[in-house]
Chains A and B, each alone.
Chain A
Amino acid sequence: MKHNPFVTNGLSIAFGLLFLLSLAGQAFSGVAYFNEGQIASGLEEISFWQYVTSSSFAVDVSENWQSEYLQFLLFIVLTVWLVQKGSPESKEIEKRGVQSDEEELIGQFSKNESPKWAKAGGFRTAIFSTSLGLVMGTVFVLSWLVQSVTGFSAFAEQQLASLQDTGTWAEYVVSPEFWNRTLQNWQSEFLAVWSMVILSVYLRQRSSPESKPVGEAHDATGASN
């Protein structure tokens, strides 16, 4: 039965819109906040375009992106081997570790509708088999690098406004400012994963794929709607 594409892609459309709206909201509130500081210092206000192309905005965006992608990278990779009894976020206890080719439907065990690189074997299947972690990891590394560059630029700008020397990028990436920004993001991401892993053992959300069925036992691992 054919469904409307807006129905079959509803989840990505909804979160895509939420992302765009909240990014826009961050930009508008950010330029207002920045200009409050400018007025207080007797300096000129800047335009919306000047703000969204500034290092201040870029570091505020990238520091959040890098921690989200690190969260996904670690969660995707660690759940291959680590399990949590009773959590729908976990594989069944007996399935911890790397699954067989037969279970993963690759090579000779692939089906007609399997992706091309799952059937191909060799290097292509090896890459495709880890493509999710590779892309998450790449986006994490790139956005953390962007955070370091834009963070240094924003930090340097503040230093100069306070009549202090800027230091260098190499000094910045081992500075308390950089690591404070990084770790305050990491702690919330890891808390979110931990909360979800544990709370989903004992709590339910009817009909959500993130939850076990309401009547499923607390110690049923890997079950979901």
Chain B
Amino acid sequence: MTVVKGAGRSRCRRPRPGTALGTAVLTGVLLASVSGCAGMNPGTSEAAAAALDFHTALASGDYGRACGLLIPSAVEKVEAGAPGTCAEKLAQLDVPVAATVQDSAAYGRNAQVVMDQDTLFLARSGAGWRITAAGCTSRGERPYDCEVEGD
């Protein structure tokens, strides 16, 4: 429920211009700061670096290090089912090896990195980024279909 100002004749009920002006200034500051943050998309380059790091590890056969860059729930899913460590099972998955980042965007605590042969999704972890999904193929409006995927 909203309090609505009466349209009666008492001058005492008109809001003072200073109050409305102060609100306008506050809104302007909010606009500037939030727009600035949204425009810069903080974390974009760090997410891209994490994705490149993951694929460098895959290309060099260092699957243990690649697993270390996955979020815990993705590691659990890779290890689920038949016995084997994350590194052993990751080596058997069909994740195409990529070498260059073509596009990257971070919003809040999530990011997407498009590489030449792969698309990855990441989430913030501490001061860095971890892979939430890799080996992803677009399905139009539906979520990507990914070889490696956390919750």
Contacts and interface: CB of A to CB of B under 8 A. Distances in A.
B17 A131 contact: yes
Interface residues of A, number: 61
A81 B119 CA distance: 58
Contacts of B132: 161, 163
Contact of A209 (B8, B19, B123, B143): B8
B45 interface: no
Contacts of B110: 156-158, 160-161
A68 interface: yes
Interface residues of B, number: 56
A224 B20 contact: no
A79 interface: yes
Contacts of B3: 15
B27 interface: yes
A48 to B, nearest CB: 15
A71 B2 contact: yes
B30 A88 contact: no
Interface stretch (B31-39, B61-69, B91-99): B31-39
Nearest to B136: A163
Please indicate which of the listed interface residues A15, A40, A42, A75 has the most CB atoms of chain B within 10 Å of its own CB: A42
5 contacts: A139-B23, A142-B31, A162-B143, A165-B138, A210-B4
Interface of B: 1-10, 12-17, 19-21, 23-24, 27-28, 30-31, 34-35, 37-38, 71-73, 105, 107-112, 121, 123-126, 132-133, 136, 138, 141-144, 146, 149-151
Nearest 9 pairs of A and B residues by beta carbon: A160-B110, A157-B108, A224-B8, A42-B73, A156-B107, A163-B143, A192-B2, A157-B107, A135-B20
